Amino acid sequence: MGDKLALVTGASSGIGFSLAKEFAGRGYDLVICSEGDRLDSAAQKLAAMGANVVEVRADLATEDGVQDLWDKFESLNRMLDIACINAGIGVGGLFGETDLAAELQLVRLNCVGTVQLASLWCATCKIRAQVVSYLPRQSLVRWLLPAKPSTPPVRHSYYRLRTL
């Protein structure tokens, strides 16, 4: 077991999997989460890199799914060094022409689930640590971060939040 632990959501593919690989290469143990079928394969590849991997299959668009992930993390009795809240989906097309159910699912996963998981982590943070979060919605970024007039609008950015 390594001394550092990273939690990565959306870790079965894409950016999330790339982030998890980066942490595995740096000696982190991993808690990875995805709802998709590729989670097992991703976990095997990360374990082959030498990481201790805990897989959590959960739908982070639901409060219960986020809570299940958090409960699994807490059962490890370890401090979380880095959280990459990366799970997210997109809906293509003009808003007036897209499926409302798909748009609401996007909001539940990309916004509500992200805020819920970040809130759970911040509420239990007792010592200095880092949260790295991929926030795909500028409005959510502005809500979470203090306003900086000199910062141009950013759509897809990584932000590092530090807490004491």
- Domains of the chain, each with CATH number or no CATH: 5-163 (3.40.50.720)
pLDDT tens digit string along 87-128? 999 999 998 899 999 999 999 999 999 999 999 988 776 443
SS3 (DSSP) at 10: coil
Mean pLDDT of the chain: 81
Entry pTM: 0.75
**Rg of the chain over all Cα atoms, to the nearest angstrom:** 16
Three-state secondary structure of 43-64: HHHHHHCCCCEEEEECCCCCHH
SS3 (DSSP) at 9: strand
CB 131 within 8 A of CB 82: yes
